[in-house]
Chains A and B, each alone.
Chain A
Amino acid sequence: MKLQPVIGLEIHVELKTKTGMFCGCSADHFGKPPNTNTCPVCLGLPGALPVPNHQAIDWAIMIGLALDCRVNLESSFDRKHYFYPDLPKGYQISQYDDPFCQAGKLSLASGKIIRINRVHLEEDTAKMQHQVIDGQKMTLVDFNRSGVPLVEIVTEPDIASGEEAKEFLKKLRDIIRSLGVSDCDMEKGSMRLEPNISWSESPEKLNNYKVEIKNLNSFRFAQQGIDFELKRQKELLDQGKTPVQETRGYNPQKRATFSQRVKETSADYRYFPDPDIPPIVLTREYVENLRTKLPQLPEALANEMVNKFHLSLSTAQLLSKDQLKLAYFNQYKNQVEPFELANLIVNKKIDLDQPPPTKAASRAVDPNIIDQVLKENADAVAKYRTGKTSVIGFLVGQVMRLTGGKVDPKQVQDKLLKALQVRNLQG
């Protein structure tokens, strides 16, 4: 039996709505004094009732649509029961049988497809701190975060390495940020990752154990934690042992995972439909209308910028996934030559609160560079001659690269075309 690394991810993302998932408290909880952002609903007082936030529902569905999911037209909220001091009602309102979105996918640069199992909506928990006060161990609880809308994205166990996990996560973060629905700030906890890892025959035939890593607060640590864990488990398996089913933490200093909680039996959450909330029933038109609100996703946008403005792919990618930089680019791209503007933003890291420096006037194109590019790219020139005129974009890009973008690509294109014609005549 040959085993392979099988990794699935659970990602929690806090939405940046104005208010909570089920109450009118501010969803902006970060850094406030403890327990100053609560109401009867999110504090779980007796008699309080949840009222769902429409915006959060729309945004959860938009995340699902951006991940190519199927949207369930009929969905509902369920109660997930467990006891913990950070869960004020003793249950979390989540989604079980009928989440908003299911069966999506996201592809990696290699072309490998990572399937998305589901995208659902739930409420965040309170924050706990574990301290010793007057010689007594205790847990302090702050309910400011309780009830903030939380989207959970669950992948199928299609990921095979820490590297792939990191790539997937970065791509997912960029997509969600481009939707403008979450900051996905790992440090502030608005994006949280939980990989589960095993060596199995295949994603379809899972082993009889799995290990979950919790509290990873960067993509790098996720990658390192996964790779460490794969190695640790492989060593055990090679010795004929089965790794323990458990939750582990990650220690970045030691670059190692450590056991936190052993799960002997799977938890019994006793899900049932929340009787306080009527079901959500959407029409196809409603969902299609949400689809029209999706911006161009970072990958498509980057490709478009490469073609349109002859940016290098890496520059285009950096621009397309950073909402601040992208907004700045779009604001000034008609005033400053786009290629140069992109370089100013990405490479020169100019102050985005100021207009771009205007000295960036175009210079004349050095004919030697044109010649050099044509010589160095004989293949492209040949293609051009056979009628594949679209390679001109590529040639323009090469000139822009050599000149550091300090020339007008339109002028470059004219010069290139002229030169090619001349050569054509000569040839």
Chain B
Amino acid sequence: MKVDAVLVKHIAKLGNIDLSDTEIKLYGKQIQQILQYIETLSQVDTQNVKPTYQTLDNTTNVWREDKLQPERGLTQAEALSQAKKTYQGYFVADHVFSDAIRKTSTKLAKRRQIDKFNAVLTEVNSKGNLGVKDLFCTKNIETTAGSAVLSGYKPQYSATVIQKLEKAGYLVKNKLNQDAWGHGSSGENSDFGATKNPWDMSRVPGGSSSGSAVVVATGEVEIATGTDTCGSIRMPANFTNICGLKPTYGALSRYGVIAFASSLDCPGLFARSVVKLKTVFNQVAGADLQDPTSQSPARNKSGVKKIKTIGLPKEFFAAGLDPEIKKLMASAADKLKGQGFSVKTVSLPHSQFGVAAYYLIAPTETCSNLSRYDGVRYGQHRSYFGPEAKRRIMLGSFAASAGYAAKYYENAAKVRTLIVNDFEAVFKQVDVIMAPVAPMPPFKIGAKTDNPLEMYLSDIFAAPASLAGLPSLALPCGFTKNNLPVGMQLIGPRWSESALFNLGEIYQKITNWHLQKPKL
């Protein structure tokens, strides 16, 4: 696949973004490199494989009765409240029959940095006890998704998860930094500057829920919300020595959580112990009538009763894994063996294609989800998107465009089916899978920013569970020689959270990794 300037301009136009000549050159080169990697999917035999577009236990027919819901309605003042320009009750857009005006973003006033890790974007209430990723809408409280596009946006409503937490007695303390829109594994893609790792200020804390992990790691709050589309909870938990749960897809409502890739987005939680995580998870999980993808009837049929056998997928322990992490994983497995669990090697043969499939599916969905940002009803114009958002918009408009959709987007959805099938087969042999979260310990800020593909490959161990909609619990399992935290993930069948918590609790009873705190 040759990515020339003509193609770059075409897909940028489809995605409705303006590029400078420098950008056309740079993104063209990067997209070419990413597509080359994605070509590895052509090795997979997807003939006669049905594509997977949702992981919902075959849920169908989620609909509502035809009843008015005035309690959800907005007044005219509320509807217009976030618009730059209104006129006599109307929103004002550029005249559609005039020639398109080329927009250039004027620089926003630099945001004041609140804490030394740049973890907090907005201080809400100093008496609060809850940290909230800035992807969760909080009524009348600025919610930016980490993007300049939404800088200053004050949502007219709150996400279901936030409402539930408030009902359970939590109070929002601060809104937290993140890779813009959830696009990133390191926390460096925030339009408001990178978040820093409290264990080593020169290193990344992991992303995209970077600020959430940091405020829990430093003890600023006990609980923080995050979202995990492909590792965005597990990665930062793993890089900051805390626990993070990416729940089963659909376990927590997505309503009011700014969408990144809808078929993959999982709102979830961070805490320092599995016990705490479990308590809060049970307070916020549940079907939401406002989110049709939260209504799988399988929710109440428990996946695994009790874990006896733990599987180590051999593909996750292959050459690419850092030797120190490999050693720490082996010793964690030994610890659990000592508790009477049997441990065996299993195989997830298609997991190596996870990142390639993911970087077609997620950009396609994010390109679609980011289409609503036009600066008319809220936020700034599309020229305010940062470089990573622009790259993903273009990748997505390409993968779903006429002539390419079957080869790229649909084929990725078929590979997704094979990944789902791999897990199903393995869960016939073992009750849970234990695997590293990332192939390397926390890396230096700036180390991967010039090479998007290398950054994407850090998601290699996160992608399979995300694509299959499975729950995965990340928890600390040791430190490198340089005192950098290392975590592992426990992946179970759909709706097996309680079994994962039980195993995690047992592990944390016999280890004290999770009790270690960074020196502040």
Residues of A within 8 A of B (CB): 17-19, 23-26, 33-41, 43-57, 79, 81, 83-85, 88-91, 128-130, 133, 136-143, 268, 270-273, 275-282
Contacts and interface: CB of A to CB of B under 8 A. Distances in A.
Contacts of B397: 270
B255 interface: yes
Interface in B261-299: 261-263, 289-293, 295
A85 B255 contact: no
Contacts of B377: 43-45, 88
B94 A139 contact: yes
B87 A133 contact: yes
B68 A270 contact: no
B484 to A, nearest CB: 34
Given A46-B372, A279-B60, 19 more contacts: A18-B68, A23-B69, A23-B72, A35-B90, A40-B72, A47-B259, A51-B289, A55-B66, A57-B63, A83-B374, A85-B91, A85-B374, A90-B372, A137-B98, A139-B93, A141-B376, A272-B53, A275-B262, A276-B293
Nearest to B150: A46
B22 interface: no
Nearest to B379: A46
A138 B143 contact: no
B65 interface: yes
A57 B64 CA distance: 11
B73 A270 contact: no
A297 to B, nearest CB: 24
Contacts of B69: 19, 23-25, 39
Contacts of B290: 49, 51
A300 B319 CA distance: 75
Nearest to A149: B66
18 contacts: A19-B69, A24-B67, A26-B68, A36-B89, A40-B157, A45-B137, A46-B137, A46-B155, A47-B155, A57-B63, A90-B372, A133-B87, A268-B14, A272-B364, A273-B53, A278-B62, A278-B293, A279-B60
Contacts of A268: 14, 401-402
A280 B64 contact: no
A55 B89 contact: no
Interface in B215-273: 254-259, 261-263
Contact of B64 (A54, A85, A88, A91): A54
A25 B69 CA distance: 6
A47 B256 CA distance: 4
A43 B377 CA distance: 8
Given A141-B93, A272-B405, A89 B67 contact: no
Contact of B368 (A43, A48, A272): A272
B339 to A, nearest CB: 40
A279 B54 CA distance: 9
Given A276-B293, A278-B61, A281-B60, A47 B72 contact: no
Interface of B: 14, 16, 53-54, 56, 59-70, 72-76, 79-80, 87-98, 136-137, 143, 145, 150, 153, 155-157, 159, 254-259, 261-263, 289-293, 295, 364-365, 368, 370-374, 376-378, 397, 400-402, 405, 409
Contacts of A271: 400
What 3 A-B pairs have minimum CB-CB distances, sorted nearest first?
Answer: A90-B371, A24-B69, A85-B93
Contacts of B96: 84-85, 128, 130, 139
A278 B292 contact: yes
A47 B66 contact: no
B73 A37 contact: yes
Contacts of B255: 47-49
B64 A24 contact: yes
Contacts of B59: 278
A25 B56 CA distance: 27
Contacts of B65: 54-55
Contacts of A43: 74, 79, 377
Given A34-B89, A277-B292, A91 B368 contact: yes
Given A130-B95, A138-B95, A47 B60 contact: no
Contacts of A136: 95
A140 B90 contact: yes
Contacts of B95: 130, 136-139
A49 B262 CA distance: 10
B258 A275 contact: no
B66 A141 contact: no
A62 B281 CA distance: 43
A285 to B, nearest CB: 14
B400 A270 contact: yes
Nearest to B364: A272
Contacts of A52: 62-64, 292
B505 to A, nearest CB: 33
B257 to A, nearest CB: 5
Nearest to A270: B400
A139 B88 CA distance: 13
Nearest to B62: A278
A35 B73 CA distance: 11
A138 B53 CA distance: 40
Contacts of A51: 62-64, 289-290, 292
Nearest to B92: A138
B148 to A, nearest CB: 14
Contact of B67 (A18, A37, A56, A84): A18
Contact of B409 (A143, A272, A280): A272
Contacts of A38: 73-74, 79
A63 B76 CA distance: 35
Nearest to B261: A275
A83 B373 CA distance: 10
B80 A90 contact: no
B68 A83 contact: no
Contacts of B400: 81, 270-272
Contacts of B56: 278
A271 B372 CA distance: 16
A81 B68 contact: no
A137 B143 CA distance: 32
B34 to A, nearest CB: 19
B159 A47 contact: yes
A298 to B, nearest CB: 25
A1 B232 CA distance: 63
Given A40-B157, A52-B63, A79 B368 contact: yes
A399 to B, nearest CB: 49
Contacts of B402: 268, 270
Highest count of chain A CB atoms <10 Å: which of B56, B289, B376:
B376
A37 B72 CA distance: 10
A53 B66 contact: yes
A91 to B, nearest CB: 6
Contacts of B94: 85, 138-139
Contacts of B72: 23-25, 39-41
B92 A140 contact: yes
B66 A19 contact: yes
A209 B236 CA distance: 55
A37 B73 CA distance: 7
Contacts of A18: 66-68
B79 A54 contact: no
Nearest to B96: A139
Contacts of B259: 46-47
B64 A39 contact: no
Nearest to B145: A46
A46 B14 CA distance: 21
Contact of B87 (A46, A79, A140): A140
A267 B347 CA distance: 44
B76 A33 contact: yes
Contacts of B155: 45-47
Contacts of B93: 85, 128, 138-141
